[in-house]
Amino acid sequence: MTMSAPGRRREHSGNVPGVSMQFPGVWRLRGKLLTRNAVPGIRAYSEDLLQLEGKEYRVWDPTRSKLAAALVKGLRTFPFPLGAKVLYLGIANGNTASFLSDIIGPEGAVYGVEISERSMRDLAQLAQLRPHIIPVLANAKLPGRYAWVEPVDVIYQDVAADDQAEILLRNAARFLKKGGFALLAIKARSIDVTAPPEQVFRRELARVRALEIVEEIRLDPLEKDHLFVVLRKP
């Protein structure tokens, strides 16, 4: 299933030669991925900014974001309409989340769970400019610590931990709406450095079989030995 229904206020750059919309909120220009900058004039990190039709866009680097890498590699399921509520496990300093926040707009929310206090400091600065990113300093293994988070449409998980299947299942049971999506980045080397990556991926997918597998994408060579998986809560 492809969540590509246009949102309520998706202005786009249809008149600019070479610009096409990949999904609502995500554009392509000469192979580059773009989102519309929710905070014009301000970079979240060191991304390039482009002015098109008097509007500002941010260039989303697929070598620095697994979600961008998955889009470049042909991701078909993109469940981030305007207003979507997202629980992001392993948000780090918020690089990918900053693009998600452009895409889901101010009525959406990204609850960003992160265990590292250092990353959380950067994230807190980002959230001052993008208040619909809500930093949560916590261990994603203990979802009871952030039980106040509302039910969400999507869980995005990129924690690079060996028990990531268990982390996802616990959080999905608690927060993910029925029919909601879970996007999981699996790094083979974080789980087992000796086994072939494909074997690790099959093992991890067997562990999350309480969720339906919708789509799988290998992120190589943008991210070595990574599988990006879209799952759905039945």
Name the residues that contact ligand SAM, by CB under 6 A.
Answer: 65-66, 90-92, 95-96, 113-116, 119, 139-141, 158-161
Q: Which residues of 145-174 are buried (b: 16+ CB within 10 A; e: fewer)?
A: ebeebeebbbbbbbbebeebbebbbbbbeb
Instruction: Return the number of other C-beta atoms located less than 10 Å from residue 64's C-beta.
Output: 15
Strands 85-89 and 109-114: parallel
Q: How far is the CB of 59 from ligand SAM (least distance, A)?
A: 15
Beta bridge partners of 228: 185, 217
Shortest approach of ligand SAM to residue 93 CB, angstroms?
A: 7
CB of 118 to ligand SAM, least distance (A): 9
What is the identity of the amino acid at 213? I
Q: Which is nearer to ligand SAM, 13 or 79 (CB)?
A: 79
Which residue's CB atom is positioned nearest to ligand SAM?
90
Cβ nearer to ligand SAM, comparing 48 with 212? 48
Instruction: Please report how close the Cβ of residue 14 comes to ligand SAM at its closest, in angstroms.
Output: 29
Select 158 or 225, whichever has its Cβ closest to ligand SAM.
Answer: 158
- Nearest distance from C-beta of residue 10 to ligand SAM, angstroms: 24
In the complex with ligand SAM, which residue's Cβ is closer, 118 or 202?
A: 118
Q: Which is nearer to ligand SAM, 141 or 174 (CB)?
A: 141
Q: How far is the CB of 63 from ligand SAM (least distance, A)?
A: 11
Beta carbons within 10 angstroms of residue 56's beta carbon: 16
Strand order of the sheet with strand 49-52? 19-23, 26-29, 32-36, 55-60, 49-52
Q: How many Å separate Cα 234 from the centre of its chain?
A: 21
Closest CB to ligand SAM among residues 19, 97: 97
HSE-CB of 186 using CA atoms within 13 angstroms: 32
